[in-house]
Chains A and B, each alone.
Chain A
Amino acid sequence: MDDSLLFSLKLSVQVATVATVFVVIVGLSAAYLLSRKNFSGKELLDILLTLPLVLPPTVTGYYLIVLFGRNGLLGRYLYAWTGWSIMFTWYAAVLASVVVALPLMVKTARAAIESVDENLIRASYTLGHSEYWTALKVILPLARKGIIAGAILSFARAMGEFGATLMVAGNIPGRTNTMPLAIYSAASSGDRSQATIMVIVFTLFSGFFLYFANKLSRRVL
C-alpha cells in the first residue's frame, strides 16, 4: 500500500469517526426533542433534518457553501473574525458527513425513543426523578438498540460520503481527498491499478466494519 492510499484511508476513518461523534450528540438531542416535546416549528425541524436524505448530495453541498463559504451567510462572519474559512479543509469533510448522516441517526433514534413504554417514563417521574435523569436512566438504555444502529448507519454513510464532500472540501491530494474521492480521481485519470487496489481495500475495510458492528450490537442487546 502506498502512502497516498494510506493517507486517504486514514482520512476517511478520521472524518467518519469525528462526524459520527457529532451526529450522535446532535442526532440524539434532536430525536429526543422530536419524539417527546411539542413546540412550534417541530414539523419544520423534522423536514430540515430529513431533507439531506432526499436531496442529491451536491445540493446539500451547495447549501453548505452558501452557508459556510468564505462569503457565505455564516462563513463570512467567521472569516471576518478569524481570517479562517472551513472550506477546503478536512473539517469541511466532517461537516458534509455530519449533515448527510444526521437523518439516519435522527430517524432510527427517534423510532427507538418512541417505542419506549410511556408508563415506564411516568413511573420514573412519580418516583421523583427529573426528566433529564429519566432520559439518562430509562429512555436511553431502553432505546439503545436503535441508537447503536443509528450510529453504525451514520458511520457507514460518512465513510461513503462523496458528493457533498467534493463540493465543500474539494479533492486536494494529501489534504482532503478521502477514500471515495481518491478512488474517483484514480478512476477518472485512468489509473486502473491504483483504483482497483483502493476499491478492494475499501471493500475489505467496510466488510470488517460491518462484521464488528454486528458483533457489537449482538453483545449489547
Chain B
Amino acid sequence: MGLSVKLKKIVNGFSLDAEWTIGNELAVLFGYSGAGKSLTLQMIAGLISPDHGFIHLNERTFFDSVSGKNLPPQERSCGYVFQDLALFPHMTIRENILYGAHGLSKVYREQQAANMLKKFRITGLENKYPSEISGGQKQRVALARALIRKPDALLLDEPFSALDNPLRAEMQNFLKEIRREFPIPIVFVTHDILEAYSLADKIIIYANGSVAQSGTPKEVFTKPASREVEQLVNTRERLLQSMELLPCIGKY
C-alpha cells in the first residue's frame, strides 16, 4: 500500500532522477526551487510523462516504462492542489466543489458538497465567485474540490506559498486537522523548511534533480546525510547567524 515512484525525466537540460516510497502519510518534498519537486507531482498526476521509471499507487500502476502503461490524469484519482489553486473563475464556490464530484451519484454529490462546505468552513460562500473571497477561503475551496470524490492520493504544490505568515500557520493546522479524515498518501511540496518540519511525517529532500535524503523530520535534522542536506535544513543556525549579523549592519 502507498505511493511508490521511480522517475527519470530530462526537460530543457534539467535532469530529474528520483525514487521514493511512502505509505498513508504526509510526505513533504523539500528543496530549492527548480529541484524537480513540482515536476514530480505533475508526473504522479499524469500531467507530464516520465521518460523512464514507474508510478504505483496502492497496487495500481499509473505508469510503467517497461510495460508501456500510462494512465491519463482522469483515471488516476489524485487530488491536486495547484500553487495558484486553479479555481474556475466562472463558477461559484459551490459549482467549483461540485465539479470535483465527478462520478458520484447526483443525490450523493449534493450531500457530499454540503458536507465539504461544512467541514472546510466555507458555508455561506456557496454562491460567491472565487474573486470575491479571501486567500485563506480560496485555499479551503481548492482543498475541498480536490478531496470531495475521496481521491486515492492528495498532491499539494506549494499551496500556501502566497499566504502571509499567520494565515499560513492557520492553514497548516487546518491541513493537519482534515488529513485525519483522509488516510491516503499526501505529497506536499514546499521550499519552506519550517513548513516542512511542522507538517511532515516524512521529509524527502530534493537537490539538483535527485533525492539527497529521506526520513522523519527528526532524522533529517539531526543526521543530515551530506553537507548539502545540512545546508538546506540548518535553519536554526542560519537564523542565529543572521541575528549575529544584525548588530554589524547597525554599526555601519
Chain A positions near chain B (C-beta within 8 angstroms): 117, 119-120, 122-130, 137-138, 141-142
- Chain A nearest CB: distance from B184 CB in Å? 15
User: Which secondary structure dominates where chain A touches chain B?
Assistant: helix
Q: Which residue of A lies closest to B82 (CB)?
A: A119
Q: How far is the CA of A141 from the CA of B72 in the complex (A)?
A: 24
Contact-residue size bin, chain B (C-beta under 8 Å from the other chain): 20 to 34
- Chain B nearest CB: distance from A147 CB in Å? 13
Chain B positions near chain A (C-beta within 8 angstroms): 45-47, 72-74, 76-80, 82, 84, 86, 88-90, 99-100, 102-103, 145-146, 149
Q: Which residue of A lies closest to B76 (CB)?
A: A126
Q: Which residues of chain A come closer than 8 Å to B79, judged between CB atoms? A: 126
The 10 closest A-B pairs by CB, nearest first: A123-B86, A128-B102, A126-B80, A119-B86, A125-B73, A127-B100, A141-B90, A119-B82, A126-B73, A128-B74
- Chain A nearest CB: distance from B91 CB in Å? 8
Q: How far is the CA of A142 from the CA of B88 in the complex (A)?
A: 9
Complex contact B73–A122 (CB within 8 A):
yes
Question: Which residue of A126, A137, A141 contacts B45 across the interface (Cβ within 8 Å)?
Answer: A126
Q: Which residue of A lies closest to B48 (CB)?
A: A122
Complex contact B90–A123 (CB within 8 A):
no
Q: How far is the CA of A141 from the CA of B88 in the complex (A)?
A: 10
**Do A129 and B88 contact each other (CB < 8 Å), given the known contacts A122-B47, A122-B73?**
no
Q: Which residues of chain B come closer than 8 Å to A138, judged between CB atoms? A: 88
Q: Which residue of B lies closest to A117 (CB)?
A: B86
Complex contact A120–B88 (CB within 8 A):
yes
Q: Which residues of chain A come closer than 8 Å to B45, judged between CB atoms? A: 122, 126
Q: Which residue of B lies closest to A130 (CB)?
A: B74
- Chain A nearest CB: distance from B165 CB in Å? 25
Q: How far is the CA of A119 from the CA of B45 in the complex (A)?
A: 13
